[in-house]
Amino acid sequence: MERNVDTALKITTTLKSLLDNPAAQILTAIIPGDVDEVIRVKAIQGLNIAIEVLNLESTCKNADSLEAKLECFISEVRKRNPDLQDAIFHKVASIITRSLDDEQKAQNVYDLLVQARFSTNK
């Protein structure tokens, strides 16, 4: 599970960097290249869930592809203050971690794990 937290934090750290530096192919940029295909699929599922659950803008979840959803999501996150941006990315990381872990535990457990890992890595 700790490895899943690390993977999720890598993804969201890269996603956060796109706030200042948009990438042409978001999914390619945010999913680490050394991740195997099963983990990649679960991470993408987690991202999709996070965008729908957080619902920063209702039009984002109606986009026709995950790339379009991510572009919309990043655009909406840009509009928030930096502290709220961090909170959003922590939640995205915990949702991805839960997806990577096959949803074995309650969401609040993943929230705590991600926060603890983020704090120790600061």
pLDDT at 50 over 90: yes
Q: What is the pTM of this model?
A: 0.83
Q: Which domain holds residue 81?
A: 2-121
pLDDT at 24 over 60: no
Categorize the per-residue pLDDT at 23 as very low, low, confident or very high, splitting at 50, 70 and 90: low
pLDDT tens-digit series, residues 78-107 = 999 999 999 999 999 999 999 999 999 999
**Number of domains forming the structure of the chain:** 1
Rounded CA-CA distance 70/2 in Å is 25
- For 88, the token pair is 């959003």
